[in-house]
Amino acid sequence: MKTILDVLKGKLIVSCQALENEPLHSPFIMSRMALAAAQGGAVAIRANSVVDIAAIQASVSLPVIGIIKRDYPDSEVFITATMKEIDELMTVTPEIIALDATARPRPNGETLADLVAQIRARYPSLLLMADIATVAEAKKAQDLGFDCVGTTLHGYTAQTAGQSLPDNDCAFLRDVLAAVTVPVVAEGNVDTPERAARCLALGAHTVVVGGAITRPQQITARFVAAIEA
C-alpha cells in the first residue's frame, strides 16, 4: 500500500497561503486556490492555520501539509513553533505537519529535541517535516527522526540571508541531498516550472511551489519589474 510520502514522490505540492496583510487572506479563497491546484495536477497542499486547512479539506481530497505561523516575542521561530500549534493542527489531522527545525532559539527556551519527543509521545503516527535552512540542520532533523526535510527556510534566517535555493544550479539542494537519506522536499523560491523540474531531476523527493502560483500580487510585481526594466 502506498504511503503519503510515496504519493508525493516526483510530484508537485502547491502552497496555498495568504497572511492577514495579504489581499487573498480568506479560508474560502484558499480553498478555491487548492481546488485550482488540484485541477492542475498538484498531489498535495501546504496550508497555514486550522481554518484554512479545514476549508481546503472540505474542497479537495488531497493530503495536506499543515503549519501554523505565529510570532513569539522571545524567538524568531514562527512556523509551528510549539506543542500548542501541533495540538491545534491535530484538530483537523493534516497528513503531515511541518515545523521550523532551524538551530535558532525556540520559544520558552524549549529545544527542538524536546518538542519532537513530545510530538512522538502524543501523536506517534504523525508524519513530521523539518523546515531547515542549513545542511547541519538537515542532518540534525534526520537524527531527531523527522520523516522528511524541506529546504523551506534557506535564505530566511540570519545565517543564510541573501541566499536562494536556485542559486548555482540548486547547490544547496544538492548538498542537502548528499547529507541525508530521508526524503528531501525542495521548497523556497522555486518560481518557474523549469526550476521545479530541475529540483526533481537532481533528486528531490517532491517540490513545493507557493508564491509563483498562489500569490498574484507577487506574480504581478514580477511582470511589472520586467516591463519597467
pLDDT digits (tens, 9 = 90+) for 144-159: 999 999 999 999 999 9
pTM score of the predicted model: 0.95
Count: domains in the chain: 1
Residues in contact with 139: Cβ distance below 8 Å, sequence separation at least 6, in sequence order: 179, 180
Interaxial angle between packed helices 167-179 and 135-144, expressed in degrees from 0 to 180 and rounded to the nearest 10: 30
Answer yes or no: is 2 within a domain.
no
pLDDT digits (tens, 9 = 90+) for 190-214: 999 999 999 999 999 999 999 999 9
Range of the domain at 26: 7-228
pLDDT value at 229 more than 70: yes
Q: Tell the burial category of 23 from Cβ atoms under 10 Å away from its Cβ (0-12, 13-18, 19+).
A: exposed
Answer yes or no: is 14 within a domain.
yes
Q: Pick the closest to residue 199 from 223, 228, 176, 224 (CA basis).
A: 176
The conformation of residue 106, written as its DSSP 8-state character, comes to: P
**Residues of the chain with pLDDT > 90: what percent?**
98
Q: Any idea what the CATH number is for the domain that residue 170 is in?
A: 3.20.20.70
Band of residue 39 on the pLDDT scale cut at 50, 70, 90: very high
Answer yes or no: is 1 within a domain.
no
Question: What is the predicted pLDDT for the residue at 1?
Answer: 60
pLDDT value at 45 more than 70: yes
Considering the chain, what is the average pLDDT of its residues? 97
Listed in sequence order, the DSSP H helices in the chain are 4-8, 27-40, 50-59, 83-89, 112-122, 135-144, 167-179, 193-202, 211-214, 216-228
pLDDT digits (tens, 9 = 90+) for 10-22: 999 999 999 999 9
pLDDT digits (tens, 9 = 90+) for 46-78: 999 999 999 999 999 999 999 999 999 999 999
Q: Pick the closest to residue 70 from 50, 95, 90 (CA basis).
A: 50
Query: b vs e for 86-100, b when ≥16 Cβ sit within 10 Å of the residue's Cβ?
Result: bebbbebebbbbbbb
pLDDT value at 129 more than 90: yes
pLDDT digits (tens, 9 = 90+) for 178-188: 999 999 999 99
Higher pLDDT, 3 or 128: 128
